[in-house]
């Protein structure tokens, strides 16, 4: 089954404790992306990647890092999480940068 898998689904952590949210797709897609979704603000793009070793900033990249060492994986790294990064996070992939995106199930992160 074609899918985008994020882990974990839920995470509660403390301020400053580094964490990684994993994202994997099994569709051999070139393009992958991370979003955060907040009430009243909608989905905002954090980072995206056009291909292996190629990443670029979205609209809200501050406080986040990404890497794309393999085509199927695109982890999101929070080196020093803060409470304002409490949000619902989605990973997505698409065959190219301008085609339909497939989204993961979401990761609900709470930073206390």
Partner 1 sequence: EDQVTQSPEALRLQEGESSSLNCSYTVSGLRGLFWYRQDPGKGPEFLFTLYSAGEEKEKERLKATLTKKESFLHITAPKPEDSATYLCAVQPLSGTYKYIFGTGTRLKVLA
Q: Which two tokens stand for residue 92?
A: 């997505």
- How many residues can be counted in the chain? 112
Minimum CB distance to partner 1 smaller for 14 or for 54 = 54
The site for partner 1, by CB under 8 A, has a size of 27
Residue 98 near partner 1 by CB under 8 A: yes
Torsion of CA 24, 98, 109, 16, to 10 degrees: 90
What's the min distance (Å) between Cβ of 104 and partner 1? 6
Residue list 35-94, contact with partner 1 (CB under 8 A): 35, 40-45, 48, 50, 56, 58-59, 90, 92
What's the min distance (Å) between Cβ of 16 and partner 1? 29
Give the residues lining the site for partner 1 (CB under 8 A). 4, 31, 33, 35, 40-45, 48, 50, 56, 58-59, 90, 92, 97-106
């Amino acid at each position: 089954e074609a899918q985008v898998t994020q882990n974990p689904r839920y995470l509660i952590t403390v301020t400053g404790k580094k964490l990684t949210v994993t994202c994997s797709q099994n569709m051999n897609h070139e393009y992958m992306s991370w979003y955060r979704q907040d009430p009243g603000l909608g989905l905002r793009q954090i980072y995206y990647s056009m291909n292996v070793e190629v990443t670029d900033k979205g609209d809200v990249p501050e406080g986040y890092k990404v890497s794309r060492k393999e085509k199927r994986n695109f982890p999101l790294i929070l080196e020093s999480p803060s409470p304002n990064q409490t949000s619902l996070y989605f990973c997505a992939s698409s065959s190219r940068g301008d085609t339909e995106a497939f989204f993961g199930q979401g990761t609900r992160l709470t930073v206390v």
